Homo-oligomer: A and B are copies of this chain.
Amino acid sequence: MDRLTLNTTLSFANLVQTDLLEVENILHSYIKADFPGLGTALDMIFSAGGKRIRPIMILLLGRMIASPRNKLIILATAIEMLHTATLVHDDLIDNSILRRGNPTLNTQWTSSATVLTGDLLFACSARLAADMENIEAIKLFSHTLIEIVNGELNQMFKGRCQVSREDYYQRIYAKTASMFQTGAKSTALITSPDPEKATALAKFGHDIGIAFQIIDDILDFTGEQATVGKPVASDLRQGLITLPAIIYIEEHPQEKEVQLLLQGKCLEGEKNINHLVESIRGSNAIKLSHQHARDYVASGIKALELFPPSPERLALEELACFIVNRDI
Q: How long is the Cα–Cα vector from A33 to B112 in the complex, in angstroms?
A: 26
A2 at the B interface (CB under 8 A): no
Chain A interface residue count, CB cutoff 8 Å, equals: 43
Please indicate the chain B residues that have their CB under 8 angstroms from the CB of A34 in the complex.
154
Say whether A123 contacts B146, CB under 8 Å. Answer: yes
| Binding-face segment, A21-29, A137-145, A247-255, A274-282 | A137-145
Please indicate the chain B residues that have their CB under 8 angstroms from the CB of A35 in the complex.
153-154, 157-158
- Chain A at the B interface: SS class: helix
| Binding-face segment, A67-75, A124-132, A301-309 | A124-132
Say whether B135 contacts A130, CB under 8 Å. Answer: yes
Say whether A143 contacts B119, CB under 8 Å. Answer: no
Q: How many copies of this protein are present in the complex?
A: 2
Say whether A126 contacts B154, CB under 8 Å. Answer: no
Name A148's closest neighbour in chain B (CB-CB). B123
A164 at the B interface (CB under 8 A): no
Say whether B112 contacts A156, CB under 8 Å. Answer: yes
Name A85's closest neighbour in chain B (CB-CB). B119
A116 at the B interface (CB under 8 A): yes
Binding site for B on A (CB under 8 A): 33-35, 37-38, 89, 92-93, 111-113, 115-120, 122-124, 126-127, 129-131, 133, 135, 138-139, 141-143, 145-146, 148-150, 152-154, 156-158
What are the 4 tightest A-B residue pairs by CB atom distance, in nearest-first order?
A: A123-B145, A127-B142, A126-B142, A93-B112
Q: With A115-B118, A131-B139 given, name 8 new contacts (CB 8 A).
A: A33-B153, A89-B115, A93-B112, A116-B152, A117-B153, A127-B139, A127-B146, A130-B142
